[in-house]
Amino acid sequence: MAYKILLVEDDAQLREIITDYFSQKGKDFYMLDTASTGYEGEDKCLQNEYDLVLLDIMLPEVNGFTICKELRKSSDVPIVFITARTNEEDKLLGYNIKRNGTRYRADY
């Protein structure tokens, strides 16, 4: 059974890179769904069941921290932040809102 992953990323090129990778290298193991805004990601999470959410922090309209906090009210889905923000305040905020991991950009 393939794992369902939701990628919430506003940058079209980053979305494309990750989608291309999963669609070829992991097509038997992963089913990747994408969302380009925080609200779209939140809606998809509430409507579908995912095994993992890859969430960008700096999103238009509403940021990843807020989406994570909202999702935690109703779901235990593992959430991994993908971000370029590496300062201590953001790391602590990430721990505080119970995300499951952080993957820093330019660090693939």
Q: Which of residues 42-101 bind another protein (CB under 8 A)?
A: 58-60, 63, 84-87
Nearest-angstrom CA–CA distance, 27 and 79: 21
Nearest-angstrom CA–CA distance, 57 and 33: 18
Nearest-angstrom CA–CA distance, 34 and 56: 12
Residue 29 makes contact with another protein by CB under 8 A: no
Residue 106 makes contact with another protein by CB under 8 A: yes
Interface contacts to another protein, rule CB under 8 A: 10-11, 13-14, 17-18, 20-21, 23-25, 58-60, 63, 84-87, 105-108
